[in-house]
A = this chain, B = another copy of it.
């Protein structure tokens, strides 16, 4: 294993130190338990939007803390759910208590349990905490760490849109309703060309032959729908578009946000190539791409691969997507 680290045990803590140093104008980092909090939080009467999960998916979630997006993020160890006390600490740091907090939970068994426990602990202290579980991955029903569908790329869009709603002063009821709406109309699928190596494991998470790809992979390298021979980008993207479009389904005339995501190790030259194919295939179906996001935003360490996410837009969602955001990884309008 070759990585730019000192010790597998301190990777996340040391990385957070770098995040804090680089973005002190936007966020702060607390240790023990490790949480990332927007620099001006808590703000009275503003709903806190909080997410978290195992590390190794950066910039998700810490890179999305800031104005117009997350109020706080809770990073666990690499590919490991954060503990309930860490989530509870984030809730307390992110809200004054009057407006409450929305927890965005990716559908992994550990995350769901620990965020639920944290919500109960916070509720016992009189805080109004709601949770939504995102499960946008159309690949498989159940998986290694999941009952039901996994939460993947749609999480990024959900965090942006709910964060914008909280920023403009929406109530917790409204932000929760909005979150459920986004979850209802976002779908994703991923594919991997290589496996990631978790620092404390020291070797690749799975074996993939030199001529194989894994279609429908999860963001921890969980098995997908099938292993298949390497195919052309045209074939790969066509299969991904088909899987996502037919699931919701997205229909002719629908306005969408197309999110073409790198799993980390795929170069931008390939990612934009894939994005161009997806744009063409959606146009052929009469699906109107009105907004785009292209880049490595929800990753699996250095895994090579990509995912496609489609979100059905309406005027409200488009306005919230376009609203100003100032985070380490997404920034516009400020």
Contacts and interface: CB of A to CB of B under 8 A. Distances in A.
A148 interface: no
A4 interface: yes
Contacts of A331: 331-332
Interface in A1-42: 2-7, 11-12, 14-23
A153 interface: no
A21 B270 contact: no
B58 A5 contact: no
A163 to B, nearest CB: 17
Interface in A282-334: 289, 292, 294, 296, 299, 301-302, 304, 306, 328, 331-334
A267 B299 contact: yes
Nearest to A264: B267
A265 B213 contact: no
A59 interface: yes
Contact of A6 (B5, B14, B63, B234): B234
Contact of A268 (B59, B260, B292): B59
Nearest to A56: B269
Copies in the complex: 2
A273 B210 CA distance: 31
B3 A299 contact: no
Interface string A177-216: 0000000000000000110000000000000001101000
B78 A269 contact: yes
Nearest to A13: B273
Given A272-B19, A274-B18, A276-B14, A267 B2 contact: no
B302 A304 contact: yes
Nearest to A278: B18
A262 B334 CA distance: 25
A140 interface: no
